Structure 1
Amino acid sequence: MLLRLRVSLPDRPGGLGQVARALGALGADILQVTVLEREAGRAIDDFTVTWPGPVAPAEARERLSSIPGVRIEGVWATKETPGSSADYDLLMHVVSEPSRGFATLVDALPGLCGAEWSVAVSGGSVWHASVAAPPEMELPDAPLRAISLDGKEHRLMLLPVLAAGLHVIVARAEGPVFHRAEVERAARIVDVVARLAAQPDHLSASAD
């Protein structure tokens, strides 16, 4: 089973190795580590791991909580592909077909962000939705800047696309609120896609 773990640990030599050893002792295989934050003597890291056999996120969290000095901030199932270049693949698809740039973005964001679904909202209604998006949902107002929210049923990331009159919502039901590093990365991707999608004629001419 593929899981993502958000771990707060002491930012000192050997801290990361301590977590890695504990995961190994539990039979988990670490596929990727992403450093989200290093402040005030602590680090927040995301581990993407394969766990042997079926395991509930709550069970994995309980088994990891015994590591001294370590706080488990979230455990959730993920479909991301560690080591891949999904963000570059997204941009290549947008370059090849810029007229579908925002739809391609919405379809790709769940995999890029360790989330479950995303939608693009225009004029208070859903303009495009990814495959797993619910048929009905409460749509938050468009933000002035990229933000994260802890909603009633989902953790949300709201990403404005001001030039196109859209905002994008990314959601996951499990795990912690989106970290500011995740929001900043997604906002940069959205900005690049918006710039590419706004220049279809130029891009087509360049391709010829």
Structure 2
Amino acid sequence: MPFLLRVELPDVPGSLGRVASAIGAGGGDIEAIEIVEHRPDGTAVDDVMLELAAGVMPDSVVSACNAVEGVRVVWISRYAAGGNLLLDLEVVEELTVHREQALDRLAGMLPVAFRVDWAARVRHTADGAVAVSATEAAPTELPWADLKQAERLPPVDDVTLLCGAPLLDDEIVVLGRSGGPEFLDSELARLGHLAGLAVSIAGR
């Protein structure tokens, strides 16, 4: 089964190669790599999609990576969505093809694009927050916040991290990620950008 590894490493030539070698030594086979964030402090955050050899535990890969100087594994987890990292451009292309359903399709595509457990388009009504559309794993009780930009939201339980972005005056899109990692500033910027594009594409 695929695993998703988020790793922090020095943003210098050769660092990613050393991490790749460590993953191989730990019994992992890299399927895809995505640069998530370049930080001002000279570090980078990458997401690595990998498969583990039979009998290999994820701890072996974590230990091998953490043994590389300057490298820190932020998070590793099974990735049930499979081995495809959905690029933001693919999301925009799909929304453009289906303009009239762009806002609903956005919620459906975000879990793969952001490696989260669920997403929901949430509307504020007199009776509280209701889901206009949501992926299967979304909870029945959804949060609401009057957002002006993409932000982290207060968690609704001890394990699920949340963030959201404005869509329409009375609607936001919310993402839920169970167990981590925390939403990075770069992810918030991407979410805000995609939400704005979805609204423009839908002509709203």
TM category (shorter chain) comes to 0.7 to 0.9
SS in 2 for 1:61: helix
* Percent of residue pairs identical: 27
Q: 5 Å matches for 1:64-83?
A: 64-78=65-79, 79=81, 81-82=83-84
CA distance in 2, matches of 1:56, 1:156: 28
Aligned AA for 2:18?
Q
Q: Which runs of 5+ in 1 are unaligned?
A: 200-208
- Aligned equivalent of 1:143, options 132, 147, 170: 147
Do the aligned partners of 2:161 and 2:177 also contact (CA within 8 Å) in 1?
A: yes
Partner of 1:37: 38
Q: 5 Å matches for 1:6-25?
A: 6-25=6-25
Question: Compared with structure 1, are the counterparts of its residues 118 and 83 closer, same or farther at alpha carbon in structure 2 (3 Å cutoff)?
Answer: closer
Larger fraction in helix: 1
Question: Compared with structure 1, are the counterparts of its residues 57 and 195 closer, same or farther at alpha carbon in structure 2 (3 Å cutoff)?
Answer: farther
SS in 2 for 1:162: coil
Do the aligned partners of 1:148 and 1:177 also contact (CA within 8 Å) in 2?
A: no
Report deviation, 1:13. Answer: 3.2
Report deviation, 1:14. Answer: 2.3
Report deviation, 1:171. Answer: 1.1
Aligned AA for 1:187?
G
CA distance in 2, matches of 1:90, 1:12: 30
Partner of 1:117: 118
Do the aligned partners of 1:106 and 1:118 also contact (CA within 8 Å) in 2?
A: yes
- Aligned equivalent of 1:177, options 170, 182, 185: 182
After superposition, the CA RMSD in angstroms is 2.5
Count of residue pairs brought into register by the alignment: 196
- Aligned equivalent of 2:199, options 194, 199, 202: 194
TM-score between the two structures when normalised by the length of structure 2: 0.82
Question: Compared with structure 1, are the counterparts of its residues 84 and 93 closer, same or farther at alpha carbon in structure 2 (3 Å cutoff)?
Answer: closer
- Aligned equivalent of 1:126, options 105, 128, 131: 131
Question: Compared with structure 1, are the counterparts of its residues 91 and 45 closer, same or farther at alpha carbon in structure 2 (3 Å cutoff)?
Answer: closer
CA distance in 2, matches of 1:4, 1:46: 7
Question: Compared with structure 1, are the counterparts of its residues 96 and 42 closer, same or farther at alpha carbon in structure 2 (3 Å cutoff)?
Answer: closer
